[in-house]
Amino acid sequence: MTQKINHNYKKLEENYLFTEIAKRTSDYMEAHPNEKIIKLGIGDVTRPLAHKAVDAMIESLQELKKGDSFRGYGPELGYGFAKQAVIDYLGQYGVELHADDITIGDGIGSDISNITDLFHKGVNKVLLPDPVYPLYKATSLMDGQEIIYLECNEANNFLPAPPDFASDMIYLCSPNNPTGAAFNFNQLQAWVDYANKHNAVILYDAAYERFISDQDKPHSIFQIPGARTCAIEFCSLSKTAGFTSVRAGYTIVPQELEREGMKLNRMWQQRQTTKYNGAPYHVQRGLEAALSPEGIKQADENIAYYKKNVKLITDVLDEKGIYYTGGHNSPYIWFKCPHGMNSWEFFDYMLDTIHVVGTPGVGFGHFGEGFFRLTSFNTYEATKEAMERMRTIL
């Protein structure tokens, strides 16, 4: 007898995107040591953490030094104070949550992957927007699910509408990485109605919700009537408050969400209490502080900084009449490669002529070909210089 392993892993493609970008960039730098390269491909925050969150984390670690305030294992699903911070934060958008709907975790990369434990492997039909954040595809492949790609393009402004056939699971990311496109209330309502009609479950990634500026765009899918019977939401503090290294996020599985007579909320709680021992106490205190009004004010100052960079980029695209999405509600700007180039041709063209590095759109999916992603995560000065250079080649 030999053990049976998961052969679905063979279906995973190596994601060469960032390795290839790094290789082409370092080869160029070696050959041209005097050129100043500007990187606008960064997908990680660069502004410092909200002070309020850092102070709360330091203070809570101090508590652990003393016998009377020491804490051991915490509740696996999250401390009450952290869940309350989420309830209050989303309450400002009219979302009504119960503490039992929420779990606190170490960022959402893991929760988005782990939630798939609730779904039978190998039998579900999964709708996946393309281009999109690669994690959803990878986990669906690992589970042997059938993937149906939803083409995102200029015609639908990179916001796919529900198809006219049924499916079981749908990944939506709004504002989207990489396109920066964000659903408005009506567009998201159409998805909620579709999911309720077909008994599908929407896995909603709201990692970039804090970047939303438009009033007609929801911050949470639970602002949409009917979402509590068909949606699960993941939201991270990574991009909101700069927690990419600290690691914190929350997942909302409403108690009304039932399939085949089972409550997904109960299943998720069973999963988490069995396989996870809870996010660190001090991190949850950091999350609580980051989501407080003062913490949010500090986080918003960073987001305002990134948005100034966004404006530098979109000003050039507007001036040159180049089609783009994103920016306004997102740290990402997604635009059509000029001069009829494909994504990698434009990457090389930018690197060779103006020494600016971005991310080829095709790296996020087949339908990303011919598009390019720039991010607002560099400094204002570097972004400004990059845009002065870019203006000359578009």
Residues making contact with ligand PLP (CB under 6 A): 43, 107-109, 133, 173, 177, 205, 207, 236, 238, 244, 249
Least spacing, CB of residue 173 vs ligand PLP, in Å: 5
Least spacing, CB of residue 172 vs ligand PLP, in Å: 10
Nearer to ligand PLP, 249 or 370 (CB): 249
Nearer to ligand PLP, 173 or 312 (CB): 173
Least spacing, CB of residue 249 vs ligand PLP, in Å: 4
Least spacing, CB of residue 111 vs ligand PLP, in Å: 8
Least spacing, CB of residue 65 vs ligand PLP, in Å: 29
| b/e per residue 11-28 (b: at least 16 CB within 10 A) | eeeeeeeeeebeebbeeb
For 93, 295, 389, the CA distances from 53, given in Å and listed in that order, are 22, 7, 37
| b/e per residue 241-274 (b: at least 16 CB within 10 A) | bbbbebbbbbbbbbeebebeeeebbebbbebbee
CB 360 within 8 A of CB 17: yes
Nearer to ligand PLP, 207 or 316 (CB): 207
Nearer to ligand PLP, 109 or 338 (CB): 109
Least spacing, CB of residue 375 vs ligand PLP, in Å: 10
Nearer to ligand PLP, 177 or 309 (CB): 177
Beta bridge partners of 259: 262
Nearer to ligand PLP, 129 or 162 (CB): 129
User: How far apart are alpha carbons 33 and 8 in whole angstroms?
Assistant: 44
Least spacing, CB of residue 208 vs ligand PLP, in Å: 7
Nearer to ligand PLP, 207 or 290 (CB): 207
Closest Cα partner for 47 from 246, 305, 330?
A: 305
Identify the DSSP state of 4.
P
User: How far apart are alpha carbons 306 and 77 in whole angstroms?
Assistant: 33
User: How far apart are alpha carbons 226 and 195 in whole angstroms?
Assistant: 9
Least spacing, CB of residue 163 vs ligand PLP, in Å: 22
Nearer to ligand PLP, 45 or 354 (CB): 45
> DSSP characters for 81-95?
HHHHHHHHHHHTTT-
Least spacing, CB of residue 238 vs ligand PLP, in Å: 3
Nearer to ligand PLP, 18 or 71 (CB): 18
| b/e per residue 146-159 (b: at least 16 CB within 10 A) | ebebbebeeeeebb
Q: What tokens were used for 204?
A: 């909603």
Least spacing, CB of residue 201 vs ligand PLP, in Å: 17
Count of residues in the chain: 394
Phi first, then psi, for residue 317 (nearest 5°) are: -65, -40
Nearer to ligand PLP, 173 or 200 (CB): 173
CB 122 within 8 A of CB 116: no
- Residue 40's SS3 state is coil
Q: Is the preceding peptide bond at 178 cis, omega within 30 degrees of 0?
A: yes
**Which residues touch 68 (CB under 8 Å, ≥6 apart)?**
none
